[in-house]
Structure 1
Amino acid sequence: MRLLYGKQDFRDGVRGQESCWLLTNGLGGFSSQNLIGGASRNDHAVLMACTVPPNQRWNLIHRLEEVLTVQGCNVHLSSQRFADAPEEEGWKHLSCVEVDGLPRWRYQTQGVQVEKVLALDWEQNTLVVRYEVENESGSACALTVTPWLQFVPKGRDLDPGQPFVFRDHAVESAGLRMRLFTNGRVEPLAIRFQTLQYDYDVCDGRRAQGLTAANHRIRFTLSDGGRRKLEIVYSLEENVPSASSILRGAQRRLRRLEKQSGLYHPAARQLAVSADAFIVQRQSTGAKTILAGYPFFEDWGRDTMIALPGCTLTTGRFEDARSILETFLEHERGGLMPNLFPEGGHEPLYNTVDAALLFVNCVWLYVQRTEDWEFVRRAWPVMKRIVESYRHGTDYGIHMDSDGLIAAGQDLDQVTWMDVRIGEILPTPRHGKPVEINAYWYNALRILEHLAPRMEESGEEYAALAEQVRESFAREFWMEEKGALRDLVSGGPEDVQIRCNQIWAVSMPFSMLSAEQEKQVVHTVLRELYTPVGLRTLSPCDPSFHPTYGGEQEQRDLAYHQGTVWPFPLGAFYLSYLKVNNYTLRAVKQVREWLDALIPALREGCAGQLPEIYDGENPTASRGCFAQAWSVGELLRVYEALERPQAWETGEKVRKDR
């Protein structure tokens, strides 16, 4: 999808920082800056390398300073705010930014045109930047590119005493050696430092400034009337392809991803490309994993299981789906799946009640697409162990009550996706029986009931338990007077809050509700929680509703699930809306119209991506991670449902057919 940004989008330096671009390398490394070419976050980097995939990341090149010399005058093409120096205002000379897989910038000043394109080599820590300069200024011109370096682990600060050495066309620092290849003239420099201003960290209560260092620059001259390319490649690798080869390969790969998805809508094809950013290698497991979001998050079990169906199954990446599921098979413990994978020899963390139940769902969806029964046979013992562990009790207070419903949570543990904890405070306490967990539980029981005959076992026990769960769920969760489901059964005042979690009781392949109840839930969610870019986590009518998200960490956490808008539940909502309206032409038309709001959302925040969250009251600007896996994955499922509705009709339809 070709996204264009013009002068109207960066009419000043503040507006120019509102959006960013993102490239990834399949290892966990990435390249991301704001659209006008500067670092407005500590986590921005032109080259964020990953030495041990996917989480040991190093901010190597924090930004590029670009200066065009024309008729004796120096003009910045780069843009950057500083703590102690005048602002670089390259945005004044920026004509257009185009993001169509790769980002491209076009500058024009004093008769000189410069086009810049940037790419990462796939599964390599290699960056290529190419400038094409056309000079009609009447005299020779020069372009000088200075990389400002950090060579620190992602999120750390540069110590001014850290040594940097430039020799043999390579930068050496912190035990790393980054090689340089260019057709420009390389000039070593005495070490210099700059302190950057991070406007987009300041508003979130993070660090305001960061130090960078420079010890070399690259100069490129061009006579009047000339047109030439300056190519720059930086890499941690030993074998480095040419700049042209990397650029061609990157663009071809992105086009292949669009085609592989089999989707037609431009936004759907863009999301198929966007999904690729999250699917990366994990060295400790030797398999694929899904990063939850950029620039902050790592790979988490819950996020992976929610993002996997859209990011891999919808896009036709079945081998990646199996690789990810295989990893979870190997790491199941006590019926639980990892919420956070091991790093540096540490054991996985299992503090999640939903990941294991969603794993069962992912296996079900996977086999519907692939008919890979050999994998299901391998997964079957683990799936049964999950159900047995939940029935008889496992860690974190997870157990089945006498009514067949699942209860979870103890002490200060938060084991659902609304998992914020501030010291001794749980802003969204959900100890008890959460609504979505019991929807997942029923779904898992029905899946095992259906799969058991294929595994040459009886599914009657699962069917009987599922029926008990269905009856108990209707009795305990349904609020007739509100036409909605309780968010929780715990005996506390939070139980009756109107939250988005109830939508998964409608959208899962197997649902416990009557057709009329499902319609009422969808209507309640539409009336109280729906926005064009996501569902609110809490009704605005609730006294605990927080209209905005921002400020210091504690302030952000208090708002995180108290009304803040999340895009990913939109997937369940739209699928539920289509379901309760029987996929009529009118319903399909309505969802298509609602999805139109995502087109401008793909331009705001991170070009081509969907974010983590928005403000609860007026969701206009993205917050949190600027690119979030489950946001992309869940909306991909909706686009697929509109184009291939049979793809997700694998739950209640199966039972009725039987």
Structure 2
Amino acid sequence: MKKAYVAFHHMNTFFRMYSLHRLSPVILIASLAFAAGCSPSASRERLWTLDELEVEVTDTTREVAYTNGAAGFYYTESNAPQRNGWQGWHSMSVRILDDYQVAIDGIPLDRSSVHLARVWPHQFTRAYPQGVQESVTLLDSVDALVVEFDNISGDGFTAAPLFSEADTSQYIIVERDGALLVALRRHLHRTPREDFPVWIGMTVAGGSSIRRGDGVRNGRHFAPASLDASLSEDKATLLFVAGDTEDATLTALKDVAGRVSESISLRKARMERILNESHFRSSNERFDNALAWAKLSINSLIMRQGKRGIFAGLPWFSNYWGRDTFISLPGATLVTGNFDDAREILESFAAWQMTDPTSPNEGRIPNLVTTTSTSYNTTDGTPWFTLGVFDYVKYSGDTAFARKMFPVLRLAIEGALRHRVDKEKFLTHGDAESWMDAVGQEGPWSPRGNRANDIQALWYRQLLVSTAFAEALGDRATAERWHAIAQELLYNFQERFVDPDSNIIYDHLNIDGTPDPSSRPNQLFALDIVAETDIRQRIFGT
């Protein structure tokens, strides 16, 4: 006889664990601090400023990366020339500018000579031996990079945009209104397949007699042209923008030039607001600073590349991965009280759900969304999405959102039942459709088809969460049907995956039904759906 009470007990336990209606953004942060041996600080009410988070870099170099909250990021070295082919300024997952070179009175500034860099969450500076100070800021929400120079000894200033293409004939170069505009001949129009800016615009604010100069070669980089300017003061501001037309790019340059200080101040204030809206301080300054950096670092990955989402990581993963997004969603948004972004991120992925009833991926939330494609080649992204909706509602109390998302949650389950659930109610999948999804020339590196233990645990939680939503929204028939499926799944998991004699959870069931005893950390996901406490304890201790 199937143990119905087991599933019922697990469901009640699951929801008791997550019964908080609204959570203060600092509860989990404070718990973490106390676990680290910190205690409340007398200065805990002091508001954060980014000036406190300065990191000095001397006698070495550090990789630094900044994002603009839209579709752009800038990745470079603090105290050295660029060292790898990923570095540069990117927009829409395409590198649009490799680098830039600046010379004072004909002598290039040598980044390998930088003796001190100061790094903050919103910008960084370089100090050169000759006294020149360089400050680099990627502005919020627009494709604009600002490089400010102070303490310049000289009146000749030359700036060159550097690219990979080393043939001048590959470029269209326009000098207009004191600006240099550059486009690649092979990319003169933005298209769905090449969805990134066409033109790079550059000008020197604070300079006079600005004119086009010669091309420049710098190692593997090449500038088809440069700008020469005369300086009447010891400072200059180099501006880069990206646009789709000549006119739009020139307009953007003028707009940015007119509000450089304001834009940098707004960027700084935005980040300080993030820290102070989830304010926390303890007696451990190093811990507090690390936590502040962590908050702003994860926030910097929240982007609007087409729709709202979270980059999986820089520089290689400047796109949206479903699984990574929903695992990081609580820390990136919910614990800091950033419910607006959390809601919009979930809505983005809901809009990308596969709705074609003839597709074997019906109901799935995407594994990967890039600027040009959407892929559904994972099975665990969908349960993680459901748990993300649950987490959002739990933290925010936004029950209207639960109602809005319920059709998405319903299709996620019904599509799986139609196409990917076997007679034992296990969720089936391909060899590389779990989180161990690396694939080489000879196939998946860690084949786990077609029923992995962590997938079943996530599927079970998806059923429980969706059942609770159905019950809350008055759809009792659906709730009872999904609960029965969860009950059957849980019973069969004990029968097919749990080996109490060997104290293991099988890693996966092969397509022929045989169990694979490989020992992987994935089984930790499945521990809490092992019905018997003593077996669970023995497995954990093995």
Same-fold call, TM > 0.5? yes
The corresponding residue for 1:225 is: none
The corresponding residue for 1:536 is: none
The corresponding residue for 1:178 is: 201
TM-score (norm: length of structure 2)? 0.74
DSSP 3-state at the match of 1:328: helix
User: Which of 421, 425, 430 is the aligned partner of 1:400?
Assistant: 421
Question: Residues 77 and 107 of structure 1 are in contact (CA less than 8 Å); yes or no, is this contact kept in structure 2?
Answer: no
Is the aligned partner of 1:162 residue 2:186? no
Cα-to-partner distance string for 1:430-488 (whole Å, 9 max, x where unaligned): 21111211111110111123222211122333333222222222333334466443322
Is the aligned partner of 1:387 residue 2:413? yes
Rounded to whole Å, the distance in 1 between the matches of 2:413 and 2:525 is 19
Counting only pairs closer than 5 Å after superposition, residues 165-564 of structure 1 correspond to structure 2 as 165-172=174-181, 173-174=183-184, 175=188, 176-185=199-208, 186-196=210-220, 211-218=222-229, 220=231, 228-236=234-242, 237=249, 238=251, 239-240=255-256, 241-264=258-281, 265-283=288-306, 287-297=307-317, 298-333=319-354, 334-341=362-369, 343=371, 348-393=374-419, 399-409=420-430, 414-458=432-476, 459-480=479-500, 483-490=503-510, 495-506=516-527, 511-512=529-530, 514-516=532-534
Question: Residues 144 and 218 of structure 1 are in contact (CA less than 8 Å); yes or no, is this contact kept in structure 2?
Answer: yes
Rounded to whole Å, the distance in 2 between the matches of 1:519 and 1:5 is 47
Cα-to-partner distance string for 1:529-579 (whole Å, 9 max, x where unaligned): xxxxxxxxxxxxxxxxxxxxxxxxxxxxxxxxxxxxxxxxxxxxxxxxxxx
Cα-to-partner distance string for 1:263-312 (whole Å, 9 max, x where unaligned): 543323222211222211133xxx41222222222222232222222212
The Cα RMSD (Å) is 3.0
Rounded to whole Å, the distance in 2 between the matches of 1:143 and 1:252 is 34
DSSP 3-state at the match of 1:233: strand
The amino acid across from 2:290 in the alignment is: A
Rounded to whole Å, the distance in 1 between the matches of 2:126 and 2:340 is 39
Q: CA deviation at 1:387?
A: 1.5
Is the aligned partner of 1:23 residue 2:66? yes
Is the aligned partner of 1:44 residue 2:87? yes
DSSP 3-state at the match of 1:450: helix
Which sections of structure 1, spanning at least 5 residues, go unmatched? 11-15, 80-88, 135-139, 151-155, 197-209, 223-227, 394-398, 525-658
The corresponding residue for 2:96 is: 59
Question: Residues 36 and 78 of structure 1 are in contact (CA less than 8 Å); yes or no, is this contact kept in structure 2?
Answer: no
- In terms of mean alpha carbon deviation, does 383-392 or 260-269 score higher? 260-269
Rounded to whole Å, the distance in 2 between the matches of 1:2 and 1:219 is 36
Rounded to whole Å, the distance in 2 between the matches of 1:160 and 1:518 is 67
DSSP 3-state at the match of 2:215: strand
Question: Residues 379 and 433 of structure 2 are in contact (CA less than 8 Å); yes or no, is this contact kept in structure 1?
Answer: yes
Question: Residues 119 and 246 of structure 1 are in contact (CA less than 8 Å); yes or no, is this contact kept in structure 2?
Answer: no
DSSP 3-state at the match of 1:292: strand
TM-score (norm: length of structure 1)? 0.62
Rounded to whole Å, the distance in 2 between the matches of 1:521 and 1:143 is 72
Q: From the superposition, tell whether residues 468 and 157 of structure 1 become closer, same or farther in structure 2 (CA, over 3 Å).
A: farther
Moved over 6 A (4+): 491-494
How many residue pairs get aligned? The number is: 447
Q: From the superposition, tell whether residues 480 and 141 of structure 1 become closer, same or farther in structure 2 (CA, over 3 Å).
A: farther
Cα-to-partner distance string for 1:218-277 (whole Å, 9 max, x where unaligned): 56476xxxxx53322222352324221122112111111222334543323222211222
Question: Residues 433 and 488 of structure 1 are in contact (CA less than 8 Å); yes or no, is this contact kept in structure 2?
Answer: yes
Q: From the superposition, tell whether residues 480 and 304 of structure 1 become closer, same or farther in structure 2 (CA, over 3 Å).
A: same
DSSP 3-state at the match of 2:270: helix
Rounded to whole Å, the distance in 1 between the matches of 2:417 and 2:144 is 49
Rounded to whole Å, the distance in 1 between the matches of 2:75 and 2:156 is 22
The amino acid across from 1:7 in the alignment is: T
User: Which structure has the bigger radius of gyration?
Assistant: 2
DSSP 3-state at the match of 2:378: coil
The amino acid across from 1:229 in the alignment is: K
Q: From the superposition, tell whether residues 505 and 162 of structure 1 become closer, same or farther in structure 2 (CA, over 3 Å).
A: same
Q: CA deviation at 1:4?
A: 2.5
The corresponding residue for 1:78 is: 110
Which sections of structure 2, spanning at least 5 residues, go unmatched? 1-51, 189-198, 243-248, 282-287, 355-361
Cα-to-partner distance string for 1:368-387 (whole Å, 9 max, x where unaligned): 01121111112112212222
Q: CA deviation at 1:356?
A: 1.3
Rounded to whole Å, the distance in 1 between the matches of 2:536 and 2:96 is 48
Cα-to-partner distance string for 1:115-168 (whole Å, 9 max, x where unaligned): 32211221111111122328xxxxx54674533322xxxxx7555532233332
The amino acid across from 2:366 in the alignment is: P
Rounded to whole Å, the distance in 1 between the matches of 2:493 and 2:103 is 65
Rounded to whole Å, the distance in 2 between the matches of 1:522 and 1:146 is 61
Q: CA deviation at 1:21?
A: 0.7
Rounded to whole Å, the distance in 2 between the matches of 1:107 and 1:5 is 11
DSSP 3-state at the match of 1:102: coil
Rounded to whole Å, the distance in 2 between the matches of 1:157 and 1:492 is 54
Rounded to whole Å, the distance in 2 between the matches of 1:258 and 1:482 is 49
DSSP 3-state at the match of 1:291: strand
The corresponding residue for 1:7 is: 58
Rounded to whole Å, the distance in 2 between the matches of 1:129 and 1:370 is 40
Q: Kindly, what percent of the aligned residue pairs are identical?
A: 23
DSSP 3-state at the match of 2:201: strand
Q: CA deviation at 1:66?
A: 4.1
Question: Residues 156 and 228 of structure 2 are in contact (CA less than 8 Å); yes or no, is this contact kept in structure 1?
Answer: no
Rounded to whole Å, the distance in 2 between the matches of 1:66 and 1:414 is 47
The amino acid across from 1:233 in the alignment is: L
DSSP 3-state at the match of 2:445: coil
Question: Residues 114 and 131 of structure 1 are in contact (CA less than 8 Å); yes or no, is this contact kept in structure 2?
Answer: yes
DSSP 3-state at the match of 2:227: strand
